[in-house]
A and B are shown apart, each in its own frame.
Chain A
């Protein structure tokens, strides 16, 4: 059987992938794609502007098609279809015949007939080429606009912001944003949030004309108002690509779309259509999940098995410019027998609405804006008609306070519940794979593909895995890896008790096998946290992760970056000059880091000892930027210069940074000291943050920037410097002794039973009677500090490891290449 697929978008690719997975015999596949590259992930297109490359977005490389015997024509659209003779002819003149033809031509952007749309500076938002053109134009643009306040329009607005066109208007014809997904009240909240980050929103606005001579200069609206813009993106909806089908005589809908039945067959029995070009019961499905489902149905039809497409739930959850927006089931229902419960928090920008049946038993649909954490659970409750608890609002509010339900919700779902809608994996599928030995999320991803699409279901998959294991009588314990049957805390106690000092001793005494990349750095860190001996000593160097092993951060291309400690961010002109001289001598790229110090990039392994020697001679030491250790204590300028400053924040920051430098912990630690309530050091985003008050210092702990920012919580107020240090001693030592591996203080606190109140009891009120012990353990670590760079350059045994070639120590890695960027160098991009 010879199958031709027209269109190589996400759905066309998925069709090939799913068909190949079925390993059908005697099937020949030919794909014609109009675009010049293999299929790519259009859902995450806007990430192209936040650093992803076309390659990152690729679904599979061209070689994938080759490996599976699929003939792929790229950049060659089909121009002619002859249904009678079952043949197609491409733009390049290639003629192929088929037994079956599959349309997966997708859609194009719908461009409303506004006079002037042809002007330069007007773009659509659909393909990587569109994005490249936008990227080239954007540097010239100051004021931008997007026509369309729907899902794609807001994505395009985000793209404009990413491109640096910060003064951007969103123009929507309807009276509210995202009219198809969310209601008016929700729209208002969303609009307020978008406006707060600088977007201008105009609703109920109709564009009459795009002005300018050759190039766009402005837009005229129905009220005759003019808006000056020099860049416009149109994202006002999609139009199915049905022109080829139409010209070949296939039946299409009055407003476009190739008519298909529930088996995806068009009006010609040898031709199928799937994805956004297909019209099923009067509807175009403009999301990727139903497109994948159509691909699945089409394959069943071609292979002679029975599967029907019966419509698809259009529930969706996405992050728009950092704001969660989700709608599911019937979000709008206003019927009399429907009760809606609404929660609106304008302050926080949160809007939640659930629609439930009059008897309060069934969830019918809803909308979540600003916080969509409960989306998966609500969606499954709705789809599977799970009976609601007596207070239905509980499902919308989620867990409250310290009491967590621990994901008990997944238990109530039936086996048919669709957990991953991208890959159509049900709860039952996941459970049976767990029982058959796939005992973690990674294994489930591998054997079911669940969670590999949008990734939104991963937390649920994890809950299901854990619950299934528990129900099988398997005790879920956080053991380190196959070599150590202990949790981090258990192993720390053992290492302490038995006074073990090297990885090999620990493995021989308490582990089995030969170790791995998980337990080696973990045990090495435990040993360092307990004894604070030089981390490369006693054969521990080969147990350290690469950064710790070479006391520098490995970067793209295999060179390293060097960060000397600059405590509190204070540095003399002489020291600055030395950094400059070293950077010049070794051709290093220099950048100021987020922690008020200077990073020197692009150092060859061989050069590291010499670079350190020069820095040490000028009074620098290691900044431990490579370690799970204290990084920096950031400070504002404080009372020595600042007219608002209450205390000398810089001196205190230096004192604290020098106290905790080099101490290894489960994860990196950052601190901050602000000289007054204005908080210029951003101390509340640090693991420990100190803020001056009239009477002393306020100490905040367990803050975090990173992917999930969290403010630090107040641990103690109006304390003097000495007490502050004692509390930090206790706090850090308690964290080091009890946290799971690679857990920041914020996550540690979130998991700690009793939360900040418990922590305060331990640290401030000494409820466990541990205070003295914690303080003395910390003092031992502080007393044991030596600069690792100094130790490494002075010891010939350590020093000789810093060469690339063992048999040519003076030679550098010849494969290292740099490119020029803004008068400095950068690492060569990898593929």
Chain B
């Protein structure tokens, strides 16, 4: 029965070793996907490379289906699986700021660490910038504290809000993703940039 660590007494050392091993897999997957390249990531927004869309949605669907199956098989206690807490204002405003950071800087935090690992100098500066941004948030926290906690909805699932079963919503997400994959493949043909792709 999972999740293993919260349910069983696992020593601190083993817990941290698992953290490292999961990170290792995370880093290998990101790097093999090409997320260590800012121009490949940015390609998403100009259509010449939609790897981000394909990897991101495939991964979230695989994990989502896995959770649905594990739950149906009684192999995971979903009541202790963390569901992100929803605060409307901070989720939207935070997301918009992050989106700006993405198109300006070319990375997100996870991909920047992965890219820095293989020697991308722009990624190293992005990591430094991220630390500065977090420090700025921390130093000016009183200004944002109210916004940070405004409009609290709670750890709510989209399936509950829509009143459908997880499995059905999962199916809708899969169909939507397949449609987007198709659009992505079309976009890569239409906005092809051989000059960039061969450099990546």
Q: Do A and B come from one complex?
A: no
A contact residues vs B (CB 8 Å cutoff): none
